[in-house]
Structure 1
Amino acid sequence: MSAVTPEDFKPILTLVRDFVRAKVVPREREIMDTDAIPDDLREQVAEMGLFGYAIPEEWGGLGLDLTQDVELAMEFGYTALALRSMFGTNNGIAGQVLVNFGTEEQKAEWLERIASGEVVASFALTEPGAGSNPAGLRTKAVRDGDDWVIDGEKCFITNAPIAGLFVVFARTRPADASGTGIAVFLVPADTPGVEVAAKDKKMGQEGAWTANVSFTGVRVPGSSLVGGDEDTGYRAAMTSLARGRVHIAALAVGTAQRALDESVTQATTATQGGTPIGDFQLVQAMLADQQTGVLAGRALVRETAKRYVSGEDRRIGPSAAKLYCTEMAGKVADLAVQIHGGSGYMRELPVERIYRDVRLLRLYEGTSEIQRLIIGGGLVRGARR
């Protein structure tokens, strides 16, 4: 449960909404052109506590639960997704590994610095041959005395170029009857043998940096093994990803809302033959489809978050929310470009950026195909019990 009451959360949500719309939206073109979040915006984000909004209060965070997290995510989605990416891994897939599985010593060493934004944490799971399915990990960790030595290659790692800490998943042995053999380690970015490649050149989400990271003979102490357990990695990854999928679904809803708002503005201001295009029934039909998707997505996200927090559903629901909402956002963005006509294809308009930005939502933290397998497989297994 959240440490923040609904009454206390309201001003936090208002503060974030006002910040996004008044401070970030006007600078979206700057973020896109420079491929960076301006330093002053980063400083404001840190002052607002957004690097640690989902970190427990005892470790310097705001202590929001997932029902509150998704409300913020829908606001973050209203602007350039790079803003949320800057602090998303601290609150989400990387930070939650420590929150849920770290030892007290590990939490004491890292969480306050993560919550303040002093340290950016990166979730180093994806590999060239193991993306949505961590069971295929090739990165290895071998025990050497009291230490572990890590060797492997990770790819598409969010925030890698600015990370101070990598949460690294590695195989310590083949899976057997005792466990998966997948462990997770806390590796400071300045550890010898850690090498971050050049920033990836992506289709969209300018300002959100990803890169490959190689680990060559990286030696870390035994205290770096999260939870002190060699088999924690797989469960930690699945737990963090499930929570993250609800967050990404909410992010998609926020982006879809922005695309809808831009479409309504276009429909009521642009004309063809002297007639506002919003008077045309086919344009109204597109707006109706957009609105329906946004409303359904918002309701699904809120219900899924409640069921996650209660423990009622932490597997099928998150996958269903991510699948529906990210696919919906792609369709809403496509309709937004269509409503804008030729101008929607121009870089000057927000809908062009949105169209590119949302494409990634169906890929990271588990592709749409993986979500379908999780949902379908879960239903079949449940019926057989």
Structure 2
Amino acid sequence: MSGYEPAWMDDELRMFGDAISKFYMAEMVPHEGRWQKQGHIDRDFWMKAGEMGLLCASVPEEYGGMGGDFRHEAIITTEQFRAGGVSGFGNSVHSQICAGYILDYGTEDQKKRWLPKMATGEAVCAIAMTEPGTGSDLQNVRTTARLEGNEYVINGSKTFITNGQQADLVIVVAKTGDEAGARGMSLIVVETDEAEGFRRGRNLEKLGLKSQDTSELFFDNVRVGPENLLGGEEGQGFYQLMKALPQERLVIAIGAVAVMEKALQETVAYTSERKAFGKPLLALQNTRFKLAEVKTITHVARVFVDDCVARHMRGELDATTASMAKWWCTQMQCDAVDECLQLHGGYGYMMEYPIAQMYADSRVQKIYGGANEVMKELIARSLTEL
């Protein structure tokens, strides 16, 4: 709304964003109400997204991807939420997290085996980190993958797994050794159609993100070959997770800013039309001052996040900065959306208005990807470096 554009934007990316926006408006937004009621998006939408180039956009063409870079991923995420905050499409997990693990750490055979199917939408991917009782404490996962003969036998349970109901591939965080803490942790890919003993639990009923399937997953003596060990070497899981988390947290921040922008746009439009005391709400000083605050915070967040994208493109995004982006942008998202809902009055509490959906969906942003309290602890550890 300010005419601001990041330094990394160019004509090709601008055209790409326009095309993605039109696709979302035509193929996603009209179905959101139905998807919310059924608790997941339609499976064939993944295939349409693959045809459009939304899946694995930064994966090289040799592995079936579009051959783009993280700027393309940032635009795909931004346009999804600018289209109306449609939350059911778990592409950030599929393309920007799971595909990243396979691309960065997988063997050549693993990349050729899984990435092309993920790029077309034939295979939906999830990552199973969180367990009941562990939350953000990844070092204390209890799921095990023991090598018996020439197979890993996986036992354990996971919860809060995005794409869990539809996933064809699940990257499982498991203990392959007896060492305490981070040592002995590995990532193992389970192909769900072929996995005897794999079971999906219920599609969890959430406060928000109603159209995104979020599941419990159970592994009861699930057997997979050693070729499914990501990277082919045991004990590398925690290192792989830590290296990838800055990008995951940046993706969350990107979505947060896009929601703030959408909330501001919706509220300016509403307060311009809605009248109180004989004049539009936007003519009242309180309304104008509140929206001035939201616009300022949104712009600052946008500039910060776009700088993080530029740093990430240069390979310079550190864990501390990513943690700052994640906690601050998601906190500002919740604050901004709350202010915008307040300016809608009673209608802001009605789910037929987009601001109500944004309010319900925003709250989890401060929890997943590492709770904001964890982000602050990570940032605090860097203070001694000053």
TM range (shorter): over 0.9
Deviation at 1:127, TM superposition (A): 0.6
Deviation at 1:66, TM superposition (A): 2.3
Residue 343 (str. 1) matches residue 342 (str. 2): no
1:243 is matched with 247
Amino acid at match of 2:368: Y
Residue 363 (str. 1) matches residue 363 (str. 2): no
Amino acid at match of 1:94: C
TM-score by length of 1: 0.92
2:71 is matched with 67
CA contact (8 A) 1:166 1:189 kept: yes
Residue 295 of structure 2 aligns to a residue whose secondary structure is helix
Report 1:80-99 matches (<5 A): 80-85=85-90, 87-99=91-103
Distance 1:204 1:140, change over 3 A: same
Residue 160 of structure 1 aligns to a residue whose secondary structure is coil
1:187 is matched with 190
CA contact (8 A) 2:56 2:96 kept: no
Match among 36, 58, 69 for residue 54 of structure 1? 58
Amino acid at match of 1:221: G
Question: What CA distance in whole angstroms lies between the structure 2 residues aligned with 1:72 and 1:94?
Answer: 16
Report 1:266-285 matches (<5 A): 266-285=270-289
Amino acid at match of 1:197: G
1:255 is matched with 259
2:159 is matched with 155
Any idea what the Cα deviations from partners look like across 1:84-125, whole Å, max 9, x if unmatched? Answer: 41x222212211110110000111110100111100011011
CA contact (8 A) 2:334 2:359 kept: yes
Question: What CA distance in whole angstroms lies between the structure 2 residues aligned with 1:340 and 1:172?
Answer: 53
CA contact (8 A) 2:58 2:67 kept: yes
Residue 93 of structure 1 aligns to a residue whose secondary structure is helix
Structure 1, gaps ≥5 residues long:
none
Question: What CA distance in whole angstroms lies between the structure 2 residues aligned with 1:248 and 1:194?
Answer: 29
Deviation at 1:238, TM superposition (A): 1.8
2:14 is matched with 10
Aligned residues with identical type, % of pairs? 31
Question: What CA distance in whole angstroms lies between the structure 2 residues aligned with 1:41 and 1:224?
Answer: 27
Amino acid at match of 1:111: L
Deviation at 1:209, TM superposition (A): 0.3
Match among 227, 232, 240 for residue 236 of structure 2? 232
Deviation at 1:357, TM superposition (A): 0.5
Amino acid at match of 1:82: S
Deviation at 1:136, TM superposition (A): 1.1
Amino acid at match of 1:181: G
Any idea what the Cα deviations from partners look like across 1:312-354, whole Å, max 9, x if unmatched? Answer: 2331111111111111111111011100001100111111111
CA contact (8 A) 1:53 1:62 kept: yes
Distance 1:42 1:184, change over 3 A: closer
Distance 1:317 1:232, change over 3 A: same
CA contact (8 A) 1:122 1:163 kept: yes
Aligned residues: 377
Residue 115 (str. 1) matches residue 123 (str. 2): no
Question: What CA distance in whole angstroms lies between the structure 1 residues aligned with 2:380 and 2:67?
Answer: 33
Amino acid at match of 2:317: D
Structure 2, gaps ≥5 residues long:
1-7
Stretch moving more, 351-360 or 74-83: 74-83
